[in-house]
């Protein structure tokens, strides 16, 4: 299955880039297509490596560092998560189309676990940082006011 991720990397990143461009996220637009492509390519390579080694630590470490970098850069948490979402969607599209049916369950489990661990680590670190200072995008008080 890592062969699919590695052999189809360019195609996966192409699809993810199109989705990222459609998202119109300000920091990614500002960074430009080349930088965004490099970031997605590196994230895909990390997913492939973690799947191949069955080791989540590198993903968790990178996602935690990424949360710090993006928080310090003024990114909104939703903007940061979009890169994970578009890449995961592109991975699923390619993997499902080329993976034999009897290998899909394992592929889905492995990829979902790796990407999910990254998204989770990223969100936990971002929220931990944001909880130390007020961040408008994380003000959830309106959700808990009143109600029937």
Mean pLDDT by 10 residues, the chain (148 residues): 88 96 85 92 97 97 96 89 94 93 93 96 95 61 53
pLDDT value at residue 25: 84
The highest-level CATH class for domain 2-132 is: mainly alpha
pLDDT value at residue 61: 98
Instruction: Please tell me the pTM assigned to this model.
Output: 0.85
pLDDT value at residue 146: 56
Q: Which two tokens stand for residue 106?
A: 């394992």
pLDDT value at residue 137: 53
């Amino acid at each position: 299955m890592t062969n699919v991720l590695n052999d189809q990397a360019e195609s996966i990143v192409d699809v993810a880039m199109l989705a990222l461009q459609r998202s119109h996220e300000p920091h990614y637009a500002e960074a430009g297509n080349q930088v965004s492509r490099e970031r997605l390519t590196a994230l895909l390579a990390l997913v492939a490596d973690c799947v191949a080694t069955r080791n989540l630590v590198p993903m968790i470490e990178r996602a935690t560092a990424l949360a710090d970098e993006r928080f310090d850069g003024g990114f909104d948490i939703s903007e940061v998560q979009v890169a994970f979402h578009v890449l995961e969607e592109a991975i699923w599209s390619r993997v499902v189309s080329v993976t034999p049916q009897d290998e899909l369950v394992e592929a889905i489990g492995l990829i979902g676990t790796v990407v999910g661990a990254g998204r989770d680590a990223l969100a936990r670190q971002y929220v931990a940082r944001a909880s130390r200072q007020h961040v408008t995008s994380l003000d959830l008080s309106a959700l808990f006011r009143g109600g029937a």
